[in-house]
Amino acid sequence: MPKIKLPTKVPFIDMTPMVDLFSLLLVFFILTATFRQQEPAPVDTPYSISEKPTPDFNNMTIVFSNDNRIFFNVDNGPDTLLKFRNKILAEMGKAYNIEFTEGELRAFEKLNNSIGVPIENMKAFLNTEDKAEKEKLQTGIPIDSLNNQLANWVLYTRQVNPNVVASIKGDSKTEFPLVRKVLDILQDKNVNRFNLVTNLKAVKVEEEKTQQ
Amino acid sequence: MADVGGSEAPKKGGKKTIKRKVVRIDMTPMVDLMCLLITFFMLTTAFSKPKIMEIVLPEKIKKDKDKVEPPKIAKSRTLNIILGPENKVLYYTGMVEDPKNPPPLQVTDFSATGIRMILLEKNRALFRKIDQFRNDVIAGKINIKQDSVESAIRKLKSDDDTGPIVLIKAYKTANYGNFVDILDEMSIIGIARYTFVDISWIEEQMVEKTLGITPEPAAKK
């Protein structure tokens, strides 16, 4: 009987199908990636049972950080060509006699984070590249009755984009009177419908169990 | 296989056979790189979007404008909930008629046996109706489209005329988390009518008296 000769070859694992698979996965993840928004301050949102997702556009968000600063964010509308953020900042500048250059407006448009910069410091904020410097300028938007910049942000946002919906994203530890004050400001501007941003936590109440 | 070429069969005619080398591309570094990229994208992708909870506040009644009276509601159905400090919840039914002799405030909390039990007790009829409806939909007894379930429940709520009318108020030291918690509680129990109103000074005093002098249900008369 002849012996079966085994080929003495270096084992070589073919990686091609693996590469194929990984490419597919990679493409999937790149296409579906919606990057987590980085808030300038830590915000720990409260929990609720609501399952409604946040809208993708036409959304203005007022953020309360746990050190009681107020931030404001608005998106560019259903189409980035609409450049709502540019227009809103230009309007704000007009109201406070600040002329923003084309470059500054573009920098503001690109900025996807909430801003907590008083309008006087906005120019400096948009022109600096230094992160620590930027952080220092984020002192929160003033809401005093004498210098109520938040009210103007809301006003001009609604003038530029009438379909905008107000969202409130607050840290659970925010003092309530501050939230109440902001709600008052919004109601003064005839915004009566709010979306409160929360995390999902399922709770089920069984009626039978609670019967006494 | 990532082979290029291969050994050719020797040709006849005395020509020199060119032995081609098999070119193999080692894919392992590419796999490594892709693994890294995939990990990066998986970790940075936000799969679960934050959720929202809708709330509509009553429109502000502008003074001296067109003399609109605030809507009147039945006293017997009113349940006042006051968000107190340190995650405490205080409540009383009815209204304050005599500031010198206010109704007793009860103290409870946000646990499953706290305010939820009290609300459930008051809202049992409606809660049962909604629960029954949901079960019927799941069991297939009621043939209804998935999208119209919510609006059907809303209809049930607006038809309700027995459940409590909840007025939510917040004491100075309450925090935003409490506010969301109590609104969440409303949707868990399926309260049909609730709104947020400003706290009055009488109620503030009541809270101070209840929590300040003798905590817990000592304010009972």
| B24 three-class SS | strand
Separation of CA B101 from chain center? 37
pLDDT of residue B215: 44
| A77 three-class SS | coil
Contact in structure between A109 and A85 (CB atoms under 8 Å):
yes
Would you call B83 and A197 a contact, using CB atoms and an 8 Å cutoff?
no
pLDDT of residue B193: 80
Would you call B175 and A64 a contact, using CB atoms and an 8 Å cutoff?
no
Count of C-beta atoms within a 10 Å radius of residue A30 = 12
Query: Does B143 lie at the interface with A, CB-CB under 8 angstroms?
Result: no
Q: Give the domain extent around A59.
A: 47-200
Least confident of A188-192, A197-201, B62-66, B81-85: B62-66
Q: Which residues of A touch B32 (CB under 8 A)?
A: none
Strand partners for A187: none
pLDDT of residue A122: 85
Indicate whether A25 belongs to any domain: no
Q: Is the ipTM of this complex over 0.85?
A: no
The pTM score is: 0.72
Q: Which residues of A touch B53 (CB under 8 A)?
A: 48, 50, 52, 195-196, 198
Find, among B8, B34, B3, the residue nearest to B20 by Cα. B8
Burial B22-46 (b: 16+ CB within 10 A, else e): eeeeebeebbeebeebbeebeeeee
Would you call B60 and A188 a contact, using CB atoms and an 8 Å cutoff?
yes
Indicate whether A7 belongs to any domain: no
Q: Is the pLDDT of residue B67 over 70?
A: no
pLDDT of residue B153: 77
Would you call A176 and B24 a contact, using CB atoms and an 8 Å cutoff?
no
pLDDT band at B6 (very low <50, low <70, confident <90, very high): very low
pLDDT of residue A35: 66
Q: Is the pLDDT of residue B73 over 80?
A: no
What is the rounded distance in angstroms from the CA atom of residue A18 to the CA atom of residue B159? Answer: 60
Q: Is the pLDDT of residue B218 over 60?
A: no
Indicate whether A9 belongs to any domain: no
Strand partners for B169: B82
pLDDT band at B219 (very low <50, low <70, confident <90, very high): very low
Would you call A173 and B176 a contact, using CB atoms and an 8 Å cutoff?
yes
- Regions in chain A scoring below 50 on pLDDT: 211-212
Q: Is the pLDDT of residue B31 over 80?
A: yes
pLDDT band at B2 (very low <50, low <70, confident <90, very high): very low
pLDDT of residue B139: 81
pLDDT of residue B95: 76
What is the rounded distance in angstroms from the CA atom of residue B2 to the CA atom of residue B25? Answer: 6
What is the rounded distance in angstroms from the CA atom of residue A22 to the CA atom of residue A63? Answer: 38
Q: Is the pLDDT of residue B1 over 50?
A: no
Indicate whether A1 belongs to any domain: no
What is the rounded distance in angstroms from the CA atom of residue B183 to the CA atom of residue B185? Answer: 5
pLDDT of residue A206: 59
Q: Which residues of A touch B126 (CB under 8 A)?
A: none
User: Among A32, A46, A47, whose Cβ lies nearest the Cβ of B45?
Assistant: A32
Query: Does B181 lie at the interface with A, CB-CB under 8 angstroms?
Result: yes
pLDDT of residue B71: 67
Residue B55: closest C-alpha in chain A: A194
Q: How far is B190 from chain A (nearest CA, A)?
A: 11
Residue A33: closest C-alpha in chain B: B45
Provide the strand spans (E) within chain A.
47-48, 52-53, 59-64, 70-74, 165-170, 193-200
pLDDT of residue A85: 85
| Both tokens assigned to B109 | 């909390």
Indicate whether A64 belongs to any domain: yes
pLDDT of residue B220: 40
Least confident of A62-76, A134-148, B151-165, B182-196: B151-165
User: Among B58, B83, B180, whose Cβ lies nearest the Cβ of A196?
Assistant: B180
pLDDT of residue A126: 85
Domain count, chain A: 1
Contact in structure between A135 and A116 (CB atoms under 8 Å):
no
Would you call A29 and B83 a contact, using CB atoms and an 8 Å cutoff?
no
Find, among B53, B177, B187, the residue nearest to A54 by Cα. B53
Phi and psi at residue A114, in whole multiples of 5°?
Answer: -70, 150
